[in-house]
Structure 1
Amino acid sequence: MPWLLLTIAGILEIFFALAMKSSDGFTRLFPSILTVVCGLSSVVLLSISLRTLPVGTGYAVWTGIGAAGTAILGIAVLGDSAAPLRILCIALILAGVLGLKLVAGGQ
């Protein structure tokens, strides 16, 4: 269960970043509200998952999901650069997230 909560927290972190971009510096109401709701929800779920998971693993996985997911959606939706080195770096982040999950074992 903590891994599921951590995954959802990471996904909410992606929505947080995209909503923040869309809020245009908190000048647009709905995206600004979505930014706050997603950010707070993400942190709450992270904190619940950290009751069981090691803090270093949980935090690294949370930020990894958020960073890689935001970069991927930035490429797919916002037209961000899809340079090969950038794709390689995103793949390395995802490999690190999977590696941390495997090393953490049954927790």
Structure 2
Amino acid sequence: MNWIILIIAGLLEVCFTFCLGKTKESAGTEFYLWGIGFIASVILSMCLLAKAIQTLPLGTAYPVWTGIGAVGTVLVGIFLFHEPITFGRLFFITTLIISIIGLKVI
């Protein structure tokens, strides 16, 4: 169950980076709404991470959490913010995914 909580926490990390990206292109009330989404996602993500590490090793849970966030953020950047797709980005995201799986398997 705590692995599921950790995955949700990692996905919320992607949510807060998405909200952060949206604040870059908004103004006025919309800026503050995205900011509220950012803050809410950060708080919920951190709370779920704290819950997950009650039974999972910190040395595994934290890298998995940041890895999910990193991979998800790069994918959001590519698909939603039209950032460039390069061989280097795909290569290193792939190695990061393999490393996350490796931490789960060990």
Which TM-score applies when normalising by structure 2? 0.92
Q: Is the contact between residue 64 and residue 94 of structure 1 (CA under 8 Å) also seen in structure 2?
A: yes
When residues 2 and 89 of structure 1 are mapped into structure 2, their CA distance, relative to the original with a 3 A threshold, is same
Selected match of 1:73 from 64, 76, 99: 76
Letter of the structure 2 residue corresponding to residue 12 of structure 1: L
SS in 2 for 1:65: helix
When structure 1 is superposed on structure 2, of 72-81 and 26-35 the one drifting more is: 26-35
Q: Who is 2:9 aligned against?
A: 9
Check if 1:87 corresponds to 2:86.
no
Residue number in structure 2 paired with 1:30: 33
The 3 A distance-change label for structure 1 pair 26 and 37 is farther
Instruction: Specify the alignment match of 2:103 in structure 1.
Output: 100
Secondary structure at 1:51 match in 2: coil
Q: Deviations along 1:23-68, whole A, 9 cap, x unmatched?
A: 2399611100000000000000000000001101000000000001
The Cα offsets for residues 54-102 of structure 1, whole Å up to 9 and x where unpaired, read as 1010000000000011001111111111101110101111111111111
From 40, 43, 48, the counterpart of 2:43: 40
For structure 2, which runs of at least 5 residues remain unmatched after alignment? none
Residue number in structure 2 paired with 1:56: 59
Instruction: Kindly tell me the number of residue pairs found equivalent between the two proteins.
Output: 103
**Is contact 1:16–1:38 with CA below 8 Å preserved after alignment?**
yes
Q: Which amino acid aligns with 2:11?
A: I
Q: What is the RMSD of the two structures over their aligned residues, measured on CA atoms?
A: 1.5
Q: Percent identity?
A: 34
User: Segments of 4+ in structure 1 off by > 2 A?
Assistant: 24-27
Unaligned runs of 5+ in 1: none
